[in-house]
Amino acid sequence: MYVRSIAVKETLYTVTLARAAELVGGRAKLAELLCVSQSTLARWMSGRSQMPMRAFLSLVELTRKAEREH
């Protein structure tokens, strides 16, 4: 079986998204919390698309809260 590896450009955005997904219980939950589709989240997480600043600020706040609860 062939598994395609997708390179992720590591940026502040992608690293924060990955950490947030880990904290909230996965990508589907993170997409729901950010009010975006899973495909939009996937583009942001891979670095193929830049997330809007408003969404990033929501992500930072969400991550901060989740870190405190963890």
Q: Per-residue pLDDT tens for 11-51?
A: 999 999 999 999 999 999 999 999 999 999 999 999 999 99
Record the pTM: 0.84
CA gap 6, 41 in Å, rounded: 15
Torsion sign, CA atoms 70, 67, 65, 30: negative
Domains and CATH numbers, the chain: 12-65 (1.10.260)
Task: Please report where in the chains the tokens 């990508």 appear, as a residue.
Answer: 27
